[in-house]
């Protein structure tokens, strides 16, 4: 049997199906495509198209039809690939995971099901999509996880790129220390110990002749001078940065908007996920080319 991809012709057939009135007596579960012997029915298509249209009302009918059939074909390919590797799933686990995700978003599976029903869509189309995604995820992990390779430099580069895109509010209080006096150090320590907020500093020390305040709003790390740039790269999650004595000044440096540092293990997971995503895209492209897709 020739392995061909009948998407263009299929879209035309589907478009005709979707615009043909169907009476209640007609069977809407007619198989319209076989993807590696996995059936896609007219009902599958109609439900997916309704869901896509309700989620993206700006899409025209041709785009909806195209997206719906492509999603269903891809999901069938993913299920076939996973099953060929002996990967199985638990419907209960898929439903529980979907319910948890919906609750995290402020709703629930029960409420979402009712909303879809109101829009004329069956929750089954979402569950079917989740099943395919679950099986495919396990397939890619089993086949490609051993090829994912993350180094320390990869983690450092990712963290640096994240920080470079962050917007900071930095305040530097420069205290005169011409004679290297104890008073200057005491003032600097007092500012640090009694720190409440950057706004409060502006009020407390604006008229102090021995203190110059540099209040920098909406700056990125690369826009800062040394040693502040280097310090912030390692202390971006702290308010009070290490005090610096440069020439005849004592600098009290404050990070008014600390940024949470992502743990190393979390960055590793993100980078591994990105690598697996690249493998996933390539694998799906290859499987599409080798799949048997038949119109019925």
Q: What pLDDT was estimated at residue 7?
A: 41
Task: Name the pTM for this structure.
Answer: 0.69
- The rounded Cα 273 to chain-centroid distance in angstroms is 11
Task: Report whether pLDDT(105) > 70.
Answer: yes
DSSP assignment letter at 240: B
Place of tokens 């008073």: 183
Closest CA to 71 of 123, 29, 139, 132: 132
Judge whether residue 255 has pLDDT over 70. Answer: yes
Count of Cβ atoms closer than 10 Å to residue 82 Cβ: 23
End-to-end CA distance of the chain: 15
pLDDT digits (tens, 9 = 90+) for 263-295: 999 999 999 999 999 999 999 999 999 999 998
Main-chain dihedrals φ then ψ at residue 253, nearest 5 degrees:
-110, 130
Q: Is the pLDDT of residue 178 over 80?
A: no
Q: What are phi and psi of 149, to 5 degrees?
A: -135, 115
Q: Is the pLDDT of residue 12 over 90?
A: no
Three-state DSSP at 177 gives coil
* Cα angle 157, 161, 165; round to 5: 170
Q: Which single residue is written with the structure tokens 């402020």?
A: 106
The DSSP letter of residue 151 is: -
pLDDT band at residue 15 using 50, 70 and 90 as cut-offs: very low
Residue 4: which pLDDT band, with cuts at 50, 70 and 90? very low
Alpha-carbon gap, residue 23 to 97, rounded angstroms: 36
- Reply yes or no: is the peptide bond before residue 284 cis, omega within 30 of 0: no
- What pLDDT does 28 receive? 54
The CA–CA distances, whole Å, from 169 to 20, 219, 232, 255, 257 equal 61, 6, 12, 6, 6
Classified as helix, coil or strand, 219 is strand
Residue 130 has what pLDDT? Answer: 96
Topology adopted by domain 7-147+274-295:
Triger factor/SurA peptide-binding fold (1.10.4030)
Number of C-beta neighbours around residue 74 at 10 A: 18
Q: Is pLDDT above 60 for 245?
A: yes
Q: Return mean pLDDT, the chain.
A: 87
Q: Is the pLDDT of residue 180 over 80?
A: no
pLDDT at 13 over 80: no
For residue 25, pLDDT beyond 80? no
Per-residue confidence (pLDDT) for residue 183, from 0 to 100: 81
């Amino acid at each position: 049997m020739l392995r061909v991809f009948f998407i263009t012709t299929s879209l035309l057939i589907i478009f005709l199906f979707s615009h043909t009135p169907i009476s209640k007596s007609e069977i809407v579960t007619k198989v319209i495509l076989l993807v590696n012997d996995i059936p896609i029915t007219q009902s599958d298509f109609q439900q997916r198209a309704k869901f896509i249209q309700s989620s993206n009302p700006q899409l025209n009918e041709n785009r909806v039809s195209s997206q719906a059939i492509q999603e269903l074909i891809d999901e069938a390919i993913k299920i076939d690939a996973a099953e060929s590797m002996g990967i199985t799933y638990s419907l209960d686990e898929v439903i529980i995971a979907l319910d948890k995700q919906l609750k995290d978003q402020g709703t629930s599976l029960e409420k979402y099901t009712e909303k879809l029903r109101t829009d004329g869509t069956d929750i089954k189309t979402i569950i079917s999509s989740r099943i395919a995604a679950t099986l495919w995820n396990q397939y890619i992990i089993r086949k490609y996880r051993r090829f994912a390779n993350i180094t320390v430099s990869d983690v450092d580069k990712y963290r640096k790129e994240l920080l470079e895109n962050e917007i900071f509010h930095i305040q530097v209080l420069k205290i005169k220390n011409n004679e290297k006096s104890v008073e200057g150090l005491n003032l600097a320590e007092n500012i640090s110990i009694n720190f409440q907020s950057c706004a409060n500093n502006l009020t407390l020390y604006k008229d102090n002749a021995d203190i110059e305040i540099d209040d920098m709003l909406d700056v990125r790390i690369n826009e800062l001078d040394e040693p502040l740039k280097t310090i912030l790269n390692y202390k971006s999650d702290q308010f009070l940065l290490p005090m610096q004595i440069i020439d005849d000044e004592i600098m009290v440096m404050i990070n008014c908007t600390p940024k949470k540092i992502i743990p190393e293990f979390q960055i590793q997971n993100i980078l591994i996920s990105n690598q697996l995503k690249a493998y996933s895209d390539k694998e799906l492209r290859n499987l599409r080319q080798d799949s048997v897709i038949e119109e019925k």
